[in-house]
Amino acid sequence: MAKYKQMSPEALALAASRFKVLSEPMRLEILQVLRHGETSVNDLTEKVASTQPNVSKHLRVLQDADLVARRRSGSSVFYRIADETVFKLCDVVCDSLKHKFKEQAAIFA
């Protein structure tokens, strides 16, 4: 059995903060859109079927967590993924859920 180093309370708080940022479905949807490349706020708003103020609020949280970065071009603002490792975590969670639901579906087969 592998030994794991005990995390400090400060490290645990930082990890919990990252999970909190990712606990909102709209933020995950925004990340999913941005996974395909840099996108303007207007295009993001359309693609996630939400309002511009709501999308901007979630983008701010993602930016504060250093998950996305922004760039201004004239009157438009564009966002892109700043930390690609976020998708490793999403993939692990999604694979786990897929496995869980596959097992549950087998019960009813």
Tell me, yes or no, whether 60 lies in a domain. Answer: yes
Q: Which pLDDT does position 98 carry in this prediction?
A: 86
Q: What total of structural domains would you count in the chain?
A: 1
For residue 69, the domain's CATH number is 1.10.10.10
Tell me, yes or no, whether 104 lies in a domain. Answer: no
Helix (H), strand (E), coil (C) string for the chain: CCCCCCCCHHHHHHHHHHHHHCCCHHHHHHHHHHCCCCEEHHHHHHHCCCCHHHHHHHHHHHHHCCCEEEEEECCEEEEEECCCCHHHHHHHHHHHHHHHHHHHHHHHC
pLDDT, one tens digit per residue, over 51-108 is: 999 999 999 999 999 999 999 999 999 999 999 999 998 889 888 888 888 888 778 7
* Structure-token match 């400060």, residue found: 10
Tell me, yes or no, whether 92 lies in a domain. Answer: no
Q: Which pLDDT does position 73 carry in this prediction?
A: 94
Tell me, yes or no, whether 65 lies in a domain. Answer: yes
Tell me, yes or no, whether 48 lies in a domain. Answer: yes
Tell me, yes or no, whether 76 lies in a domain. Answer: yes
Note down the domain range covering 47: 11-83
pLDDT at residue 2 tops 90: no
pLDDT, one tens digit per residue, over 16-63 is: 999 999 999 999 999 999 999 999 999 999 999 999 999 999 999 999
